[in-house]
Amino acid sequence: MVRAPCCEKMGLEKGPWAPEEDQILTSYIEKHGHGNWRALPKQSGLLRCGKSCRLRWINYLRPDIKRGNFTIEEEETIIKLHEMLGNRWSAIAAKLPGRTDNEIKNVWHTNLKKRLLKSDQSNSNPNSKRATKPRIKRSDSNSSIITQSEPANLNFREMDTTSACTSSSDFSSVTVGDSKNIKCEDIESLETMPVIDESFWSEAAIDETPTMSSQSLTISNEMPLQYPFANYEESFQQSHAYDSNFDDGMDFWYDIFTRTADSIELPEF
């Protein structure tokens, strides 16, 4: 069954939100919450579909939203999480308080992806010119602008001890359980790596496959991520230049595993 788009009903507004609409939505949610997005527009008097209201609230009006340019630390985090998760923007956003999946997706496509690509190219061609000056973020009366230092001077690949294995400019999605994707030849002790196949991510499979001792996870088409579950902290540090800005790395994996497989026993650190 394919449903018609929710905004197809006659008379519903589309496009940019007017300040008055923002006001109505904000005050309605502050008073009544948003139990039912579909019913919200009708109850609040907005001529918008529920989906549009939800998006506006989540991406723009929410009080805990952090506006302004991304900090260097945030960008590093996005890059690293993207290496691990692929285009799972909501999962990445969950690790960046105040940032939305949409915002992260935008900054990835408009900024970070190109920067990584340039970085890779300049690594292969040391004589190539540096990145051009970045644009200043559009001013926004609602924003607290965070001044961004010169990103052209950054080379994230230089921080990656497995740079020989990283061709990360064109990740599509997390691919799992396909050892044919492993192209990096200088990764040590692959046989010690746990393999996670598709079934790992489904809760239904947990009872059937409670151990993962002989499995591994491939993160992109080209780059395998290694983290033996028995000692994945050390492995993570070795393969991803684990630094002080990423101290929550273990929390991150813990979140992933506990959310996905409550019954799996996690190693103690």
Stretch that binds DNA, among 24-32, 132-140, 189-197, 245-253 (CB under 7 A): 132-140
Residue of 26, 29, 51, 209 that binds DNA (CB under 7 A): 51
Q: Based on the shown chain and the rule CB under 7 A, indicate whether residue 138 belongs to the binding site for DNA.
A: yes
> With respect to DNA, which residue has the nearer C-beta, 144 or 244?
144
The dihedrals phi and psi of 214, each to the nearest 5 degrees, come to -120, 35
> With respect to DNA, which residue has the nearer C-beta, 24 or 193?
24
Fill in the per-residue mask, 60 to 79: x = in contact with DNA (CB under 7 A), - = not in contact. Answer: x--------x----------
Q: Based on the shown chain and the rule CB under 7 A, indicate whether residue 45 belongs to the binding site for DNA.
A: no
CB of 141 to DNA, least distance (A): 11
- Token pair of 3 as six digits: 């449903």
- Token pair of 71 as six digits: 């900090």
Give the list of residues 6+ apart from residue 168 with CB closer than 8 angstroms, or none: 79, 82, 83, 116, 120, 220, 222, 223
In the chain, % helix, strand, coil (3-state, to 5) comes to: 50, 0, 50
DSSP 217-234: EE-SSS-EE---GGGHHH
Which residues of this chain interact with DNA, rule CB under 7 A? 1-3, 5, 7, 13-17, 35-39, 50-52, 54-56, 59-60, 69, 87-91, 101-103, 105-107, 109-111, 114, 132-140, 172-173
